Amino acid sequence: MSQNSPRVTQVLAPGDWHAADTLTLPSSDRHLRRRRLVSDHGLELLLDLPRAVVLEDGWGLPLDDGRCVRVCAAPEPLLRVTAADAGDLIRVAWHLGNRHVPAALAADHVLVRADPVIAEMLAGLGATVSPVTGPFCPQIGAYGHGHGG
């Protein structure tokens, strides 16, 4: 990687900026502070943020040369977890949280990384577990970062 790679020193929320390229990463690789990265089209860049952040899908990485790279959440093998009613889904979510399992929460389902042990636990709790593939954007922890993200 070139010593003259463009640097990124801040992140931009989704908005009115134009992306010259994309950077697709799984959730486990989106908690970063300083790292050399290569975009989807081969652009080498240096991420050099003041503190570690979880890069969210749709955020922008403004390069010091004026271009911007859009962060994309990579498709991953996931489990879509549903329950008979909201109370059961809350109970399932509590068990996942109690085990520090990163999870994306929605009104009618929870997404977690595909894991046969977790799938068995969830089925034992009465949940319906379906394998899916898609971007994984788990909840950010209460202190601004995820567990094992």
| Per-residue pLDDT tens digits of the chain, which is 149 residues long | 556 899 999 999 998 899 999 999 999 999 999 999 999 999 999 999 999 999 999 999 999 999 999 999 999 999 999 999 999 999 999 999 999 999 999 999 999 999 999 999 999 999 999 999 999 999 886 655 444 44
Question: Looking at the structure, do residues 53 and 109 belong to the same domain, yes or no?
Answer: no
Q: Are residues 43 and 92 in the same domain?
A: no
Whether residue 85 sits in one domain with residue 131 = yes
Is 91 inside any structural domain? yes
Q: Is residue 14 part of a domain?
A: yes
Residue 105 shares a structural domain with residue 69: no
11 and 69, same domain (yes or no): yes
Residue 85, CB half-sphere, CA atoms under 13 Å: how many?
1
The residue out of 73, 91, 110 marking a domain boundary is 73
Is residue 140, in this structure, part of any structural domain at all? no
Residue 2 pLDDT: 58
**How much is the pLDDT for 146?**
45
Count: domains in the chain? 2
> Within this chain, do residues 128 and 100 fall inside the same structural domain, yes or no?
yes
* Residues 6 or more apart in contact with residue 14 via CB below 8 angstroms: 58, 59, 60
Long-range Cβ contact pairs of 34-42 (< 8 A, separation 24 or more): 36/1, 36/5, 38/1, 39/69, 40/72
- Considering the domain architecture, whether residues 98 and 51 belong to the same structural domain is answered as no
| Rounded Cα–Cα distance for residues 91 and 140 (Å) | 20
* Full domain range(s) for residue 33: 7-73
What spatial distance separates the first Cα and last Cα of the chain, rounded to whole Å? 26
